[in-house]
Amino acid sequence: MTPLVLQELPAIEAVPVAAWNALVGDDHPFLRHEFLYALEASGAVSPATGWVPRHLTLWQGEALVGVMPHYHKHHSFGEYVFDWGWAEAWERAGGDYYPKGLSAIPFTPAPGPRLALASHLDPLAVRRVLAEVWEASGLSSWHLLFAEPAEVEAWQAACPSLLARDGVQFQWRDRGYGDFEGFLTALTAKRRKAIRRERRLVADQGLTLHRLEGEAIDAAAMAHFFRCYEITYLERGRHGYLGLDFFERLRRTLPESLLLIQARLEGRPVAAALCLQGARTLYGRYWGSEVLADCLHFEACYYQGIEHCLERGLTLFDPGTQGEHKLSRGFAPRRLTSLHHIADPRLRDAVARFCAEERVHVEAYSRAAEAALPFRES
């Protein structure tokens, strides 16, 4: 058999689009070449922004047989698994935490695959080969964020020294509801009434909701969405990580994965939520509004997404990070695990203690969140 050759590439553009996408498929839009290229081509991901692409690729002759997004990071922004405390502690001790290695999707805390391999490869052997990259890199650490549970287990089997850190997100899952009314029926009477009241409040303010997909999202709709997205960040005194060029590139190159939920007042768009969708999952990611309207965020970012999933046969809705307020709207806690290679044994021991202590609190939080779900008892 032709030997495997590992290449670390400085840009996703160096990999043929068709070859990359043939490995990753279309279930997870964030791992597709078009999404990663839009991040780099728009300048959101670049050495100037502290993201240095070092994508890991495996080749057999001319055939691409493995891909993994990989970056050298000079900060911890845009990751959503926060290790600022680790960096501060190590630098106080005289070490250099940055740059570090990172395998994740920039600015995208959505669980999904991180390593895509041709079916004939031995996954265990490949992971051990890849581990040699960061073990020999001279970097302080390597971090695998938001990988799926099976991939986390595979990495732990290949590299037992990796430290596991737990977290929680909130996700909605179709339990055979049929339609939105069926979903409401599964809730307690109190929550069912509250959600109906919230939806009425939106309508009573004269707002109408519209779902645009694919080619129906034109340049004007995307430009309006971007204005709304920027407002969300400007309210906190800064610009968003992503520019209009990034979103325009998605509109042109990945239209089949886009869902734009638009709120209109007297026929004019005034708010928007942009989602991406795979074969089974809807991902709510970006939101903004030009108006202050009661319950509009819940309608545009949660209820419209649930309705869309039920209409299109999508079984999972990942609305993004944070927010216990999602619990009362039927989004259940999901435990997530990130993995971390720490080169220096002194820092590694400290991080291991931190993760073990944190895990106790995460477990308790997850149990409490599960108990707070508003579904009727069977």
- 353 and 261 in one domain? no
Render pLDDT for 3-56 as a digit per residue (tens, 0 to 9): 899 999 999 999 999 999 999 998 899 999 999 999 999 999 999 999 999 999
pLDDT for res 185: 97
Count of all residues that appear for the chain in the document: 378
- 365 and 259 in one domain? no
Render pLDDT for 44-73 as a digit per residue (tens, 0 to 9): 999 999 999 999 999 999 999 999 999 999
pLDDT for res 378: 54
Render pLDDT for 215-237 as a digit per residue (tens, 0 to 9): 999 999 999 999 999 999 888 88
- 114 and 64 in one domain? yes
Mean pLDDT of the 257-265 span: 98
- 309 and 345 in one domain? no
pLDDT for res 168: 95
- 113 and 78 in one domain? yes
- 185 and 163 in one domain? no
- 218 and 160 in one domain? no
C-alpha dist (Å) from residue 23 to 45, 144, 277, 280, 314: 22, 19, 18, 18, 22
pLDDT for res 240: 87
Mean pLDDT of the 85-103 span: 97
d(CA 60, CA 81): 34
- 247 and 155 in one domain? no
pLDDT for res 237: 84
Q: Is the pTM of this model over 0.75?
A: yes
pLDDT over 80 at 144, yes or no: yes
pLDDT for res 215: 93
Query: 151: Cβ–Cβ under 8 A, 6 or more apart, which residues?
Result: 113, 114, 115
Is 136 among the domain residues?
yes
- 9 and 103 in one domain? yes
Three-class SS state of 7: strand
- 300 and 180 in one domain? yes
Is 321 among the domain residues?
no
Alpha helices in the chain (DSSP H): 17-24, 33-41, 84-92, 123-135, 149-158, 180-185, 189-204, 219-234, 244-253, 296-298, 304-312, 345-371
Main-chain dihedrals φ then ψ at residue 183, nearest 5 degrees: -60, -45
Q: Which domain holds residue 251?
A: 175-314
